[in-house]
Amino acid sequence: MRLLAARPRGEREIEKGLAHRGFSSAAIGAALERMSAAGLVDDLAAARSAVRMRGARYGRARVERELKARGFSRDTIAAAFEGEGAPEREDEALRRAFERLWKARAHLAPPLRRRRVFDALTRRGFPPDRISEIIRSWYEVDRS
């Protein structure tokens, strides 16, 4: 139950956590069954929660990688993004992250500044074409 206290978790994540703590396969199966029957385990709700929380700072690609690593299925991940208005949220997160990074690197020469901001945003999982688009628009504003 403590695994569920910090944040919503998927079935596979709970299974891994219990196995890591040394529980037997039978005990893990029984615990998951009881939690599912009580409505405590919902993969889609856990994935949606992660999309809401992580999507506020990171791009879709990074959040998808994190959800896959946590054991969610591709269908669950797709449904979570579909239900959370992901494209609008990603655009807003990209804009906020870009503004913060662009201002913080104002002291750099323009080519280095563009590259560093682009690299940082790519690591955060934002699409390269959208990053390039926003850099071009802001670079034009900065030059005028």
The model's pLDDT over 53-66, given as tens digits with 9 standing for 90+, comes to 888 889 999 999 99
The two three-digit tokens of residue 21, written as one number: 């703590």
In this prediction, residue 4 carries a pLDDT of 60
Out of 47-56, 88-97, 98-107, give the one with best mean pLDDT: 98-107
What is the tally of structural domains in the chain? 2
In a domain, 35, yes or no: yes
In a domain, 25, yes or no: yes
In a domain, 51, yes or no: no
User: What is the torsional sign of CA 72, 78, 81, 83?
Assistant: negative
In a domain, 46, yes or no: no
What range defines the domain where residue 3 resides?
A: 1-41
In a domain, 93, yes or no: yes
In a domain, 135, yes or no: yes
The SS3 call for residue 62 is helix
In a domain, 75, yes or no: no
The pair phi, psi for residue 8, each rounded to 5°, is: -65, 140
pLDDT at position 88 over 80: no
The conformation of residue 127, written as its DSSP 8-state character, comes to -
Q: Give the HSE-up count for residue 57: Cα atoms under 13 Å, Cβ half-sphere.
A: 5
